[in-house]
Structure 1
Amino acid sequence: MNEHVLAAVRQYLDVHPEERGGLEPLLDLAAGTAPVASRRTVPGHVTCGAIAVGEHRRVLQIRHRSLDRWLLPGGHVEADDRTLQDAAVRELSEETGIPASAVSPMTGYPIDIDAHDIPENPAKGEPAHTHYDFRFLLETKTPGPGGHIDLQLEEVTAHRWVPASELTGRLRDKVTAVLHDA
C-alpha cells in the first residue's frame, strides 16, 4: 500500500504543487517501511474520505458522534481495501448505507489530501498523530437528497446534503471546479 500512497501523492502534487510542503512528512512516511495506511503507524497515517455528490450537485455530510461535528464520511484504511478509493467507498457505505454499486468515481485520483492533527487519546492508547485524509469525489446514483440513508448510529448521528458552494476553504474550490467542468 505504501507504493500506492506514494503514487497517489505524486499524482496529486502534479496538480497541486503548492501543497508539497504540507505533504512532505507523508512522502517520508510512505517511503519508509512502516505501513502508512495502518492506524497504528505514527507519527501519522492515511485515512480516506468520500465527497459524495447527489442530486442537484449537493454533497453529503455526516454528524460524527464523538466529535459532534459535520464531516465527510470516511475513516481508516482496512486490510481488505485494495486501493485508497476503495477505502473511501467502503467507509461511505458503512457510515451511510449507500451501496458501492450506487457510487461512481468522478475522478481517478484524490481531489484533496487534508493533513490534520489528532490529539492523544489515552482511552484508546493512541498518541497524538496526524491523519492524511485522501478525499475522493464520488457521484451517488441513489439515494440523493431526500432519499433514504441508513446511518451507522455507533459513529454517526445525522446527515445532510449541502450545496458544494457551502463547503469551506480549498475543498470548496476543488469540488466546485470539478463539478463545473463535469
Structure 2
Amino acid sequence: MDNPNHRPGRRHPRTEPPTLVVGVHLVLLDGDTVLLGRRHNTSYANGMWHLPAGHMEPGETVTRAMTREAEEELGILIAEDDLALVHTLHHLDADDGRSRLHLFFRPARHDGQVRNAEPHRCDALRFWRLDQLPANTVPYTAHALGEITRGSALSTVGWPA
C-alpha cells in the first residue's frame, strides 16, 4: 500500500507547521544610545533591561502590534508607515523550548514624550550607549542590538549548530 504521507526525499512524516510566538521590539535610538526599560514584577527576565516590547495579538499586523506596544509602554504614538524593520531574530528559547520570531523596528519619528506608562511592569527607563549595555540586559536583546549595530538583518540564537 502507498502511504499518503510519504514524499520522496522526506525524512519525517507530515506534521502541522510550527507555531511561532511573534515578538515586536522598539529600537528607539538617540545618537549612539538606545532606550531600555528595567523589567519589574514580570514572570520573564524580572530585573533585567530590555527594549520596549510585546507580543502580536490575534488579528493584528506586526506593525500594529509595535505601534500599540509603543503607546501602551511609552505613551508615544508612531504611525505604522514610520516603522522600519531593522532586524529579525529567530530564537529557540532554552527555558521553554518554544520557537520565537522577534522583529525589531526603528521608528523614523514619533509623537509625544517618552514616559514610563507601565510602572507596574517597568521600574526604570534609560538610554544606554550601544557599546556599553548593562550586564543584566536580556541576552537575546543584547545580541540583537549588536547585530543591528553591525548592519545584520537576520540572526538566530539558541539553535543547535
TM-score (ref. length: structure 1) = 0.54
- Counterparts of 2:120 and 2:104, CA distance in 1: 22
Which one-letter code corresponds to 2:146 in the other structure?
R
CA contact (8 A) 1:166 1:172 kept: no
Is the Cα contact below 8 Å between 1:102 and 1:142 reproduced in 2? no
Which portions of structure 1, spanning 4 or more consecutive aligned residues, are displaced by more than 6 angstroms?
Answer: none
Q: Note if 1:97 corresponds to 2:75.
A: yes
Give yes or no for the alignment of 1:64 onto 2:43.
no
Tell me the distance in 1 between the aligned counterparts of 2:93 and 2:35. 23
| Deviation at residue 173 of structure 1 after TM alignment | 3.5
Alpha-carbon contact 1:49-1:134 (below 8 Å) kept: yes
Instruction: Write 1 or 2 for the structure with the bigger share of helix.
Output: 1
Where does the alignment leave 5 or more consecutive residues of structure 1 unmatched?
Answer: 1-28, 37-43, 121-127
Alignment-mate amino acid for residue 106 of structure 2: L
TM-score, normalised on structure 2?
0.60
- Give the length in aligned residue pairs: 126
What is the aligned counterpart of 2:106 among 137, 162, 180?
Answer: 137
Instruction: Note the 1:6-155 alignment, pairs <5 A.
Output: 32=17, 36=19, 44-53=20-29, 55-65=30-40, 66=42, 67-81=46-60, 83-101=61-79, 104-105=82-83, 107=84, 109-117=85-93, 119=95, 129-141=98-110, 148-155=114-121
Structure 2 gap segments, 5+ residues each: 1-14, 134-141, 153-161
Structure number, greater radius of gyration? 2
> Using the alignment, how far apart are the partners of 1:60 and 1:138 within structure 2?
12
CA separation of 1:72/1:142 partners in 2, compared to 1, >3 Å: closer, same or farther? same
